[in-house]
DNA sequence: ATCTTTTATCGTAATTTGACGATGGAAGAG
DNA sequence: CTCTTCCATCGTCAAATTACGATAAAAGAT
């Protein structure tokens, strides 16, 4: 995964409400629409819809028209890839840096 | 780690420049000041300083006065905790959701 | 055909972000 | 003491984010 993509997903996830929305989606899994989420949050429907769009644009969730409703669900594959990319990124930093604090202590 | 803290770190990491700054810090490990980073990026010193503040406020990096300079380094511990928290969060979503897309396919 | 439900989108307002140049203060160098 | 280097902070500006209410379109229900 590209660094910019990683940043984009981080940014999309970088809001407590959106983390909570994903949890709600995961819990109600198979049949969750915008109103269902709005019922769980102290926010207006339009605000929730906006947050859903952010997650949608980042490719973290999926939308499926179902009659008069739109069902959303988590894109587990994308999140798994993100989790791996995050681990790799952090891992790279760690191996490159060693324990920087210790080095500074040793030098001073 | 609290969900809000996770969101705060995600947000701090949710910018390509800041991901790049962390990489630079990790590479130059033991002796990296604001100017060093600025030299690696097409940005003004004040802009880099601002990004450093964001990372600092999120607890992702550490500052150490060293003579006339301020050395920064990555807080590997915090990033490791973040990596774990991310994995756990994504893992929770996965187990709660199953493969939601498949469920929807089966229902439709 | 009409009504209701759902929800994306528009318009708006307040706040935050991201970028810059300028500046002042802190600390070593001469 | 003076000079230079480093850099956090201030002021500014444009753009993005976050929230809201209003609204219209789409689709099922009556």
pLDDT score, position A34: 97
pLDDT in tens, chain B (108 residues): 999 999 999 999 999 999 999 999 999 877 899 999 999 999 999 999 999 999 999 999 999 999 899 999 999 999 999 999 999 999 999 887 665 555 545 444
pLDDT for residue B108? 42
Interface contact A57, partner B, CB < 8 A: no
H/E element holding A60? none
Q: Which range marks the domain in which residue A9 is found?
A: 3-96
Domain at B46, CATH number: 1.10.10.10
Residues A8-58: pLDDT tens digits? 999 999 999 999 999 999 998 778 999 999 999 999 999 999 999 999 999
Q: Is pLDDT at A61 greater than 90 in this prediction?
A: yes
How many independent structural domains does chain A possess? 1
Average pLDDT, chain A: 91
Which tokens in the block code for residue B95?
């187990």
Tokens coding B4: 């809000």
With 50 as the cut, is the pLDDT of residue A107 above it? no
C-alpha pair distances (Å), B23 with each of A24, A101, B31, B39 = 34, 16, 14, 14
Low-confidence winner among A59-73, A91-105, B44-58 (lowest mean pLDDT): A91-105
**pLDDT score recorded for residue A58:** 98
Residue A103 maps to a domain:
no
pLDDT computed for residue B12 by the predictor: 98
Quote the pLDDT of residue B83.
98
Examine the pLDDT at A104 and tell me if it is beyond 50: no
CB of residue B28 closer than 7 A to nucleic acid strand D? no
- Taking the stretch 42-71 of protein chain B, residues with Cβ within 7 Å of any atom in nucleic acid chain D are 45-46, 49-50, 52-53, 63, 68-71
Does A104 reside within a domain?
no
Residue A71 lies in a domain: yes
Q: Whose CA is nearest the C1' atom of nucleotide D5?
A: B68
In angstroms, the CA A13 to CA A21 distance is: 10
Cβ(A94)–Cβ(B75) below 8 Å:
no
**What pLDDT, on a 0 to 100 scale, did the predictor assign at position B31?**
83
**Predicted local confidence at residue A108, as pLDDT:** 41
């Amino acid at each position: 995964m590209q660094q910019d993509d990683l940043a984009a997903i981080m940014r999309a996830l970088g809001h407590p409400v959106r983390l909570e929305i994903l949890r709600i989606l995961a819990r109600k899994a198979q049949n969750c629409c915008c109103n269902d989420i709005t019922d769980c949050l102290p926010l207006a429907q339009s605000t929730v819809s906006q947050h859903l769009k952010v997650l949608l644009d980042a490719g973290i969730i999926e939308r499926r028209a179902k009659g008069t409703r739109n069902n959303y669900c988590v894109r587990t594959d994308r999140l798994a890839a993100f989790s791996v990319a995050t681990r790799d990124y952090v891992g790279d930093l760690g191996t490159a840096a060693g324990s920087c604090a210790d080095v500074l202590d040793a030098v001073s």
